């Protein structure tokens, strides 16, 4: 089956978490024998920022790590959709695409259907804008789309309730288990590592309460990786004795986890307040690497994990300090919890599971696909 994906970028993960999951899914589909064509805009802001900061060397590196990911870079004004979509059975357009592209692909699908051939067309939403900026999302013309892939139940329900789409499917993100695996070649070098971007002031207070303050008060050796940290944020890290190391290619995060005794997850405020059940990609990846994880509060409304067993939840800064202190004092307990988290991810939440879910969705929409053997997971996409 030929699958065509339009996305913001798979070459760059600079402040661009969607690349993590999609790289893994594209790889899994390719390894199952499907022909996957990825298209990304030549002027993608994530890619431009990466090149401005680090040159083009990271592009060669990501191609080596993901040999099955070979995006075709396009200019929207000259994009030939007849050529890009020729022979496609399934087309996916990610929500960071320009509204013009979304509308053009929808119009193309109508024209192809009239010509006697067809493909199924899906819109992929992995952001909180359906809640925080519904006006922007309403600009996307999904009239001719067959459905939406939503990375949480609440987002799926919003698309249906607002009649933005006729059908919507839950398609959570997951860990690329081929890349995210334990890396314990040597003893850990520090107590704590956090991999995450600043977050556009969406979690400034939370980062101080659940990351900076506990590291400072406990005197932890800690390192932070991420981009778009303003001067006041860097100063706060420095005053807490936390080392700031800037951008880290996502596929290098397992090495960073392997050099630390534990990590934390601090979700952005919209996911906590308005989008229960959506953990975003970081917890999946951390647990896949078998590093002990402590989260600031988020509601696992869809029961993806077992809080208290796969990871710990801190209700406030004092409880975060309590959990961190306990895990550091009892390495055996920490290792047992980390291994439980990894087993949960491997059983239910890998890119391999999501690739199988996508194929089932395609089959449900009438695409002729050769379905793989059922995954060993009860969590399948729900229409």
Contact 183, 163 (CB under 8 A): no
Domain borders along the chain are 2-174+350-364, 190-348
66-82 mean pLDDT: 97
- Give pLDDT, residue 347: 98
Pick the CATH number of 2-174+350-364 from 3.40.640.10, 3.40.50.200, 3.40.50.2000, 2.40.50.100: 3.40.50.2000
* Sequence-distant (≥ 6) Cβ neighbours of residue 325 within 8 angstroms: 218
| Adjacent-strand bridge partners of 350 | 175
> Would the pLDDT of 229 be above 90?
yes
Element (H, E) at 323: helix 317-329
pTM: 0.94
% residues pLDDT > 90 (the chain): 86
b/e per residue 142-170 (b: at least 16 CB within 10 A)? beebbbbbbbbbbbbebbbeeebbebbbb
- Give pLDDT, residue 116: 57
pLDDT tens per residue, range 323-363: 999 999 999 999 999 999 999 999 999 999 999 999 999 99
- Give pLDDT, residue 379: 38
- Give pLDDT, residue 117: 63
Lookup result for tokens 């229960």: 276
Does 190-348 match 2-174+350-364 at the fold level?
yes
Class of domain 190-348: alpha beta
Task: Using alpha carbons only, give the angle 225, 11, 142 rounded to the nearest 5 degrees.
Answer: 105
Q: How confident is the model at residue 374 (pLDDT cuts 50, 70, 90)?
A: very low
């Amino acid at each position: 089956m030929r699958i065509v994906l339009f996305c913001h970028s798979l070459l760059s993960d600079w402040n661009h978490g969607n690349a993590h999951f999609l790289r893994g899914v594209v790889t899994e589909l390719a390894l199952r024998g499907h022909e996957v064509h990825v298209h990304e805009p030549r002027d993608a802001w994530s890619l431009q920022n990466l090149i401005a900061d680090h040159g083009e060397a990271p592009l060669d590196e990501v191609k080596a790590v993901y040999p099955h990911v070979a995006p075709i870079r396009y200019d929207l004004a000259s994009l030939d959709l007849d050529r890009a979509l020729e022979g496609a059975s399934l087309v996916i357009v990610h929500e960071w695409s320009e509204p013009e592209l979304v509308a053009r692909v929808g119009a193309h699908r109508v024209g192809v259907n009239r010509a006697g051939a067809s493909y199924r067309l899906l819109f992929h939403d992995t952001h909180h804008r359906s809640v925080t900026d519904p006006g922007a999302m309403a600009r996307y013309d999904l009239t001719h789309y067959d459905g939406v892939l939503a990375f949480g139940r609440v987002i799926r329900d919003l698309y249906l309730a607002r009649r933005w789409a006729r059908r919507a499917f839950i398609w959570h993100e997951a860990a690329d288990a081929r890349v995210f695996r334990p890396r314990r070649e040597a003893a850990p070098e520090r107590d704590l590592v956090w991999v995450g971007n600043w977050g556009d002031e969406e979690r400034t207070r939370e980062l101080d309460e659940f990351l900076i303050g506990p590291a400072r008060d406990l005197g932890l050796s800690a390192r932070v990786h991420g981009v778009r940290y303003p001067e006041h944020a860097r100063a706060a890290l420095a005053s807490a004795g936390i080392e700031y190391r800037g951008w880290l290619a996502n596929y290098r995060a397992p090495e960073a986890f392997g050099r630390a005794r534990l990590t934390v997850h601090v979700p952005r405020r919209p996911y906590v307040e308005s989008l229960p059940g959506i953990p975003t990609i970081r917890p999946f990846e951390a647990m896949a690497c078998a590093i002990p994880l402590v989260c600031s509060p988020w509601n696992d409304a869809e029961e993806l994990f077992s809080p208290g067993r796969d990871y710990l939840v801190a209700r406030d800064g004092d409880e975060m300090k309590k959990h961190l202190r306990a895990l550091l004092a009892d390495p055996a307990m920490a290792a047992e919890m980390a291994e439980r988290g990894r087993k949960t991810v491997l059983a239910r939440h890998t890119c391999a599971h999501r690739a199988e879910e996508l194929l089932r969705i395609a089959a449900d929409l009438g695409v002729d696909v050769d379905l793989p053997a059922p995954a060993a997971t009860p969590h399948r996409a729900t229409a």
